[in-house]
């Protein structure tokens, strides 16, 4: 009999909405990604949220969006503050989704080549993956970018992982992971998963994020994706991947990364109930 592996999980939060009390929903040591949505107050809010998460014993992972960084000085200041004032040791680097950059950085590679992360002791980095493709670039460009970043990380002693955009088709994710291994990408994949939420909420976010295939799947095959309750069940995405791993395949998918569109409490309850997280404790914050 083959045992099914239960994948561990990280989660994503908006810095502007994060409260210290939210940190008690997560088991100590959880990687909590802090989203950069381009708002003017992002820098201060992200620093505050990262401090709170570190104090609670979690691992804050701020987003750094290349095309939203106005200058090299701003990049240096932001990375230095997060590392030295908030205990950040890991970051997620993304393009930023703007058609034209507001500063000198066109791409994640441009960020990496500054050396700012190594100068500030950040040698644990995440980059984005797009199992269903991206509206901003072709699959060929995406493949080349993954290989370029992987080679850079190997040369500079950086631990690199891929965190994917959320999707709703397990087979599409498995096929994409097979493809990137075939072209030579061998770094771990953290699979993006939408947490429990209502159908209309998920369709809205899928369209906002440019995930056309997933939005279509949700709209046209909702019964396939719904659990017994009134809403979307992430188990319909995660369990087929775990079953593949139990059969010895796709073990490069190291964990799941949850986008809590239906609320932090709902996602935390789902992760705890399925065994991806230990029950969060109520011990006082670490200082």
Residue 191 CA to residue 132 CA, distance in Å, equals 12
Residue 218 CA to residue 199 CA, distance in Å, equals 7
pLDDT digits (tens, 9 = 90+) for 108-130: 999 999 999 999 999 999 999 99
pTM (2 decimals)? Answer: 0.90
Residue 33 CA to residue 24 CA, distance in Å, equals 15
**pLDDT exceeding 70 applies to what percent of the chain?**
86
286 compared with 148, residue with greater pLDDT? 148
Handedness of CA 209, 210, 214, 217 (dihedral sign): positive
Is residue 150 within 8 Å of residue 160, measured between CB atoms?
yes
Residue 131 CA to residue 162 CA, distance in Å, equals 11
pLDDT at 156: 96
- Find the mean pLDDT for residues 131-141: 85
Residue 111 CA to residue 130 CA, distance in Å, equals 20
pLDDT digits (tens, 9 = 90+) for 183-194: 999 999 999 999
Q: Which of 34-38, 209-213, 248-252 has the lowest mean pLDDT?
A: 209-213
Q: How many residues does the structure list for the chain?
A: 287
Name the DSSP letter for residue 165.
Answer: P
């Amino acid at each position: 009999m083959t045992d099914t592996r239960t994948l561990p999980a990280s989660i994503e939060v908006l810095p502007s909405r994060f409260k210290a009390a939210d940190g008690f929903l997560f088991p100590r040591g959880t990687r909590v990604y802090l989203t950069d949505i381009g708002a003017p107050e992002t820098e201060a809010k992200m620093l505050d949220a990262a401090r709170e998460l570190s104090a609670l014993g979690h691992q804050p992972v701020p987003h750094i969006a290349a095309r939203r960084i106005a200058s090299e000085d701003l990049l240096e200041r932001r990375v230095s503050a997060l590392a030295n004032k908030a205990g950040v040791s890991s970051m997620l680097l993304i393009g930023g989704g703007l058609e034209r950059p507001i500063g000198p950085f066109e791409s994640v590679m441009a960020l990496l080549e500054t050396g700012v992360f190594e100068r500030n002791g950040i040698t644990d980095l995440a980059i984005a993956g797009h199992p269903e493709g991206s509206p901003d670039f072709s699959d060929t460009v995406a493949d080349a970018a993954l290989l370029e970043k992987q080679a850079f990380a190997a040369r500079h002693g950086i631990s690199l992982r891929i965190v994917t955009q959320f999707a709703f088709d397990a087979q599409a994710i498995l096929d994409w992971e097979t493809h990137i291994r075939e072209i030579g990408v061998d770094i771990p994949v953290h699979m993006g998963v939408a947490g429990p939420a209502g159908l209309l909420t998920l369709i809205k976010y899928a369209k906002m994020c440019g995930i056309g295939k997933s939005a279509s799947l949700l709209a046209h095959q909702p019964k396939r994706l719904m659990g017994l309750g009134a809403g979307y069940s992430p188990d319909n995405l995660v369990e087929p991947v775990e079953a593949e791993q139990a059969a010895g395949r796709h073990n490069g998918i190291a964990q799941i990364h949850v986008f809590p569109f239906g609320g932090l409490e709902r996602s935390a309850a789902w992760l705890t109930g399925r065994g991806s997280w230990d029950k969060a404790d109520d011990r006082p914050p670490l200082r």
